[in-house]
Amino acid sequence: MKVIIASAGTAGHINPGIAIANIIKKEKPNSEIVFLGTNRGLENDLVPRAGYALKTIEAYGLSKELSLKNIKDSIKTLKGISQAKKVMKEFKPDIVIGTGGYICGAAILAANKYNIPTLLHESNAFPGKAVKMLSKKVDTILTSFEEAKKELPKAKNVVVVGNPTKIKNLELSRMQKNEVLRQLGLRQDQPLVLIFGGSQGAKAINDSVTNLINENKMKDYQIMWAPGPMQFDIVKRNIKNLSKLKGLKIVPYIYNMEEVMNTADLVIARSGAMTITEVAITGKPAIFIPLPYVSNDHQVYNAKVLADIGAAEIILNKDLNSETLANMINGIIQNPEKIKKMGEQAKTIAKDNVEEKIYKEIEKLVK
């Protein structure tokens, strides 16, 4: 099988593409897979690191605003479609798959030109503009959440499969959790609050957590915190008496996230689609602070998937401060029964055998 996977921008777009590539390789080891991206996004690091070839083209998000920049980006994007057509003509894929970013438009339109089967995977509960615009031109759209399906009335075929992710529910014993805590240099007799802001970090979350610690609002729990590589040094400088504080572990990035999330008692994060999926799979209560100013407030819609069933709480970015955060943490972490109930509710939206379901849909189109 020869496959092109269009994926660009953030880890939330690229990692699902890599997961799909991996299941194709597992089922058909002789498959040839090429990723299509831009020269600006994380795909330039993540795709080669995963062992796949990457071809880059021009692709930009377009605004209705009439400006010189938008006109230039439009011209570059039209050029990108021509570049994508050239890739299709040379590689001759059996299928073109898109997993997010403006790159998908060029890839799908180029594939249509040569009558190549197409498939899109939408991670978010509220589909992005690109997916909605392309819905009539794609053979199959796969969604992660049931809520996304009703937003795509013009699509030819929509299948709810879930989000492909490396994180699984490990069902760790108390002894195994204690070993993870020991390796982190944390105590074994206090609940663990896991805090992170995604691959880019999150300044509003980092500022509120810094104030929470400096104002002595952290009570009877410990924190594992990844403020992001770009803000790590700033955070360490801003925390008073850091070397004397106990029950606090700060790292630039959490590489063993599967173990840590399975050990945590509460997760605090932005509400990207992958985070929602991982929280559901591991069955953890969560406090979500949706990223503001994103298209269609899709992080709010993502967070509501779990909040509406009692598995999560939401603090809007404009309402976030050390006091509101501390009060919400205490309201959950000091109530073991609430932790258990929220975690059980989170698991109810987790999808099983996601990669296998995706591969089945790919097979249908290629055949």
* Whether 222 contacts 190, CB under 8 Å: yes
Q: Strand 32-37 relative to strand 53-56: parallel, antiparallel, unpaired?
A: parallel
For the chain, 367 residues long, give each residue's pLDDT as a single digit of tens.
Answer: 999 999 998 888 898 999 999 999 999 999 999 999 999 888 999 999 999 999 999 876 544 555 555 555 555 566 789 999 999 999 999 999 999 878 999 999 999 999 999 999 999 999 988 888 899 999 999 999 998 999 999 999 999 999 998 899 999 999 999 999 999 999 999 999 999 986 666 999 999 999 999 999 998 999 999 998 889 999 999 999 998 899 999 999 898 999 999 999 999 999 999 999 999 999 999 999 999 977 678 899 999 999 999 999 999 999 999 999 999 999 999 999 999 999 999 999 999 999 999 999 999 999 7
DSSP string, 200-232: T--HHHHHHHHHHHHTT---S-EEEEE--TTTH
Q: Which domains does the chain have, with CATH numbers?
A: 2-163+352-366 (3.40.50.2000), 174-347 (3.40.50.2000)
Task: Give pTM, 2 decimals.
Answer: 0.85
DSSP string, 108-157: HHHHHHTT--EEEEE-SSS--HHHHHHTTT-SEEEESSHHHHTT-TT-S-
